[in-house]
Amino acid sequence: MADEIFVSGLNVWFDKNQALKNVNITIPKNEITAIIGPSGCGKSTFIRCINRMNDLVQKCRIEGKIEVDGKNIYDPDVDVVEIRKRIGMVFQKPNPFPKSIFENIAYAPRIHGKEEPTMDLTKEPKHSKFSKKEVVELVEWSLRRAALWEEVKDRMEKSAYDLSGGQQQRLCIARTLAVKPEIILFDEPCSALDPIATAKIEDLLVDLKKDFTVVIVTHNMQQAARVADKTAFFYLGELIEFGETEGIFENPMQKLTEQYITGRMG
Amino acid sequence: MTMTSRILFNQEMETLNQEVSQMASLAREAVEKAVRCIINKDPLLKGEVERLDKEIYHMEQIIEKRCLEVIALHTPVAGDLRTVSTCLKIITDLNRIGRYASDIVEIYDVVASENGFHRPVNIPHMASLVVAMVTDAIDSFIRRDDRAARQLFERDDEVDCLYDLNFRAILTYMIEDPRKITVGTHIILIARYLERIADHSCNIGERVVYMVTGERMNPKDRKKTARESCASEPSPLNREDRDHLERSNHDLAEK
Amino acid sequence: MRRKTKERLFFLLFRGCALVVGLALLIIVGYIVFLGIGTLSWEFLTQFPKQRFTEGGIFPAIMGTLYLMALVMIIAVPIGVFTAVYISEYQGSSRFAGWLRVVVNNLAGVPSIVYGLLGLGMLVIFFGWGFSLIASAMTLAFLVLPLIITASREAIQAVPSSLREASLALGTTKWQTIRHHVLPYSLPGILTGVILSLSRAAGETAPILLTGVVLTKSILPQDIWDTFMAMPFQLYALATQTVFEKTKDFQYGTALVLLIMVVLMNLAAIIIRNRYREKYKW
């Protein structure tokens, strides 16, 4: 199994607080990796390091390296915008743009244009514009892949805000897919959704891992147990245990892990 | 997972533990009484053992239901999951143990009426080993002691050996005196039941090891020194047992 | 019972205050409308004043005010909006942004006559622009800039950061995010702020008094360096420098036209804001 994300010696400080302490982890390609842990353990901080969203936070200092396909994304010559094209993110609360469903998905591809793929994260790839037909096809493809097409195909011009919470979240996923990333990060994507919507998204994740690498932060352990191939347990900024999900939930190696997943912590 | 659900969960796990322990001690009592019934020729114990067996069966159903409830409602993981699955499995073993105890006392009528074997061949010794194994298996579960559980496997080998010896001895006597065939075959059954009880105690031990450490034992680990050494030399038996066996053989030969 | 009476008492008090305010507004507006409505006519709006403001119309004053508004808008809006964008998006919580914020807030409280003096000293005299439309426009621009900046900044900051994050996470640059999301969504608020500032500027007398307005001119201003006429000044001048009886029609008429203009501008602000709100409902 190819390695997709190689994290080594990752330390993160917000002002004087150290949010992550010496995290070393290898996230495999085309698998679902779940990040679990109690509130404040650093899991959101960790995932935001992968697509460098933490760069937007003032007083955030990051040390260490995160290698994607062999290149450290924190190298000074790397273009952050390119990173975020290849590593997408879906957030906790669905945040579609206040535009039509079609526009939501078409926005980013239109800006990026068609590009010739490149492995070089330092240079901006060559672009050419999508034709109108291509945009429409891309939007349909994204919605189909996000299991939303059937429900919205007749109202593409309607506002995204008319959709239910679960549909909005799938729209956000479709929006991310349209940019054709390699890795998709999910930051507690189901915590604002009801069980049925959650189940639909979980099914979607399992389908997505065929073509993408999925990393999901969740505070719902059962969710991690249901969908993840590998699970990582964080506590107070440290990576305590990382391994096959079955192993973690049947017989974890660390006492802390056992305490957390059996609910005997805190 | 709120704190409230963990309180309920902990209560359920505690109840489960108690019920399994209770069922286990019933099983132990059944075996003990069955052995005494046969050896001391005590007819009253027969009824008690049968009653115990019924109770054991009843408890299995209660506990199984409780295990499934815990799984459905509380989704236990890790240590808790292993505990619940262990409970589910050992109640089967305990139920079988109770059943075998009941089977043993069924034979009482045949053995009691017979004047023949006053001292069944080495059965008391085998029986005491088996009763000890049952007791220790149950204790290892209650104390969550995987080391004690592992020690059961060697003793099972001993019991298996004794069974082989008894079997051959009784076979010999039946050949020598065909009138003893009825009693002989029934005594072989008793020995067989005891050996099975020992096996089930081992099963319990194996499950306890899994419950405590998460390790699934290789079946080969269990039957390490088994039949081979038994066939070649009676070395698992200590001097006392060997003498005892010699004397028993002698007694029977004289009848 | 005591709690209920207390509540009713307060309720009556609040209602009373609101009524007083409403009544005052009604009286002022009614007064002007009543007295000025008779003067309004097509000639009044399209002709130059004649016979020392006893006949004709106030056309040049209307146009002068409009030219002024246009220039102020051209100068103040881009500067104001981009400053607001800069403070909100690019500097955030740095010390410079904080300092800027304080400065802007204080500038909003500076009396308009002071702005007038600033215009006079710096633009008219020091830069040598002389009394001109552009000097007045620039002065008024200084005056409304804090208002525009504040309103724009609030509108921009009201855009939820989740939308910014969503755009950035798709691999767009900060500027693309601002251009395609932040600015469009904050447009209602910005527009409202702009129009309200302009309607304030429309009524300012002191700044233009010192920088370029005149009472009478026979032609419209030819370019931005020209002097001009404007309604607020005209009202002030007529009220203080002429015989009331002779020019009272013009005075009431000017006041009414000015009032109508301000009302129309505010109405426009509301309509535009509502239209954009529908478009970008969030």
CB pairs under 8 A between A and C: 66
- Cβ(A166)–Cβ(A90) below 8 Å: no
CB-nearest to A88 from C169, C173, C280 is C169
Rounded mean pLDDT, B147-165 = 90
Selection from A118-132, A151-165, B34-48 with the highest mean pLDDT: A151-165
Per-residue confidence band for B248, with pLDDT thresholds at 50, 70 and 90 = low
CB-nearest to C172 from A93, A111, A172 is A111
Other C-beta atoms lying within 10 Å of the C-beta of residue A224: 25
Which is more confidently placed, A116 or B55?
B55
CB-nearest to C170 from A99, A159, A176 is A176
Per-residue model confidence (pLDDT) at position B118? 45
Pairwise CA distance, residues A158 & A174, whole Å: 16
Residue B190 in tokens:
């008793």
CB-nearest to A84 from C93, C171, C185 is C171
Residue-wise pLDDT for A113-124, tens only, equals 877 666 766 766
To the nearest whole Å, the CA of B75 is away from the closest chain A CA by 8
Pairwise CA distance, residues C139 & C121, whole Å: 11
Pairwise CA distance, residues A84 & A81, whole Å: 5
Flag if A258 and B6 touch (Cβ within 8 Å): no
Residue C253 in tokens:
């008429």
Pairwise CA distance, residues C124 & C104, whole Å: 24
Strands A87-90 and A183-187: parallel
The torsion angles phi and psi of A20, rounded to 5 degrees, stand at: -130, 135
Pairwise CA distance, residues A37 & A236, whole Å: 9
Per-residue model confidence (pLDDT) at position B230? 54
- A249 interfacial to chain B (CB closer than 8 Å): yes
Asked if residue B130 has pLDDT above 90, the reply is: yes
Asked if residue B4 has pLDDT above 70, the reply is: no
Helix (H, G, I), strand (E, B) or coil at C44: helix
Per-residue model confidence (pLDDT) at position C56? 80
The ipTM of this complex is 0.90
Rounded mean pLDDT, B117-140 = 82
- CA of C278: which chain A residue's CA is closest? A98
- Whole-prediction pTM value? 0.79
Asked if residue C281 has pLDDT above 70, the reply is: no
Selection from A101-110, C59-68, C237-246 with the highest mean pLDDT: A101-110
Give A162's DSSP letter.
G
- CA of A262: which chain B residue's CA is closest? B77
- CA of B77: which chain A residue's CA is closest? A249
- A264 interfacial to chain B (CB closer than 8 Å): yes
Helix (H, G, I), strand (E, B) or coil at A24: strand
Per-residue model confidence (pLDDT) at position B195? 94
Q: Which of B2, B7, B77 to mutate to test the interface with A (most CBs of A within 10 A)?
A: B77
Sequence-separated (6 or more) residues with CB below 8 Å from residue C159: C181, C182, C185, C186
* Number of domains, chain A: 1
Residues of C in contact with A53 (CB under 8 A): 165, 168-169
Flag if C166 and A172 touch (Cβ within 8 Å): yes
Rounded mean pLDDT, B79-90 = 95
Per-residue confidence band for A28, with pLDDT thresholds at 50, 70 and 90 = very high
Per-residue confidence band for A6, with pLDDT thresholds at 50, 70 and 90 = very high
Assigned CATH topology for domain C42-279: MetI-like fold (1.10.3720)
Rounded mean pLDDT, C51-68 = 85
Asked if residue A99 has pLDDT above 70, the reply is: yes
Establish if A266 belongs to a structural domain.
no
Flag if B78 and A222 touch (Cβ within 8 Å): no
Residue B162 in tokens:
């004794």
Per-residue model confidence (pLDDT) at position C275? 83
- C97 interfacial to chain A (CB closer than 8 Å): no
Residues of A in contact with C176 (CB under 8 A): 111
Asked if residue B139 has pLDDT above 70, the reply is: yes
Residue A63 in tokens:
């040390």
Asked if residue A189 has pLDDT above 60, the reply is: yes
Pairwise CA distance, residues C200 & C214, whole Å: 20
| Cα radius of gyration rounded to whole Å, chain C | 23
Pairwise CA distance, residues B136 & B147, whole Å: 11
Residue-wise pLDDT for B179-224, tens only, equals 888 888 888 898 999 999 999 999 999 999 999 999 888 776 666 5
Residue A196 in tokens:
């049925």
What percent of chain A is modeled with pLDDT above 90?
76
Establish if A8 belongs to a structural domain.
yes
Establish if A239 belongs to a structural domain.
yes
Residues A167-191, buried b or exposed e (16+ Cβ, 10 A)?
A: bbbbbbbbbbbbbbbbbbbbbbbbe
Flag if A251 and B82 touch (Cβ within 8 Å): yes
Flag if A262 and B76 touch (Cβ within 8 Å): yes
To the nearest whole Å, the CA of A52 is away from the closest chain C CA by 9
- CA of A109: which chain C residue's CA is closest? C170
Helix (H, G, I), strand (E, B) or coil at C229: coil
Candidates 1.10.357.10, 3.20.10.10, 1.10.600.10, 1.20.58.220; CATH matching B3-254: 1.20.58.220
Please state, rounded to an integer, the average pLDDT across all residues of chain A: 90
Per-residue confidence band for C187, with pLDDT thresholds at 50, 70 and 90 = confident
Tell me the domain boundaries of chain B.
Answer: 3-254
Residue-wise pLDDT for C19-32, tens only, equals 999 999 899 889 88
Asked if residue B109 has pLDDT above 80, the reply is: no
CATH number at residue A44: 3.40.50.300
Pairwise CA distance, residues B134 & B146, whole Å: 15
Residue B29 in tokens:
């009592």
Please state, rounded to an integer, the average pLDDT across all residues of chain B: 83
Domain that holds residue A93: 3-261
Pairwise CA distance, residues C120 & B101, whole Å: 115
Per-residue model confidence (pLDDT) at position B132? 94
Please state, rounded to an integer, the average pLDDT across all residues of chain C: 87
Flag if A175 and C170 touch (Cβ within 8 Å): yes
Per-residue model confidence (pLDDT) at position B246? 55
Residues of B in contact with A264 (CB under 8 A): 6
To the nearest whole Å, the CA of C181 is away from the closest chain A CA by 8
| Least confident window among A123-127, A223-227, B251-255 | B251-255
Flag if C170 and A91 touch (Cβ within 8 Å): no
Rounded mean pLDDT, C52-74 = 87
Per-residue model confidence (pLDDT) at position A13? 93
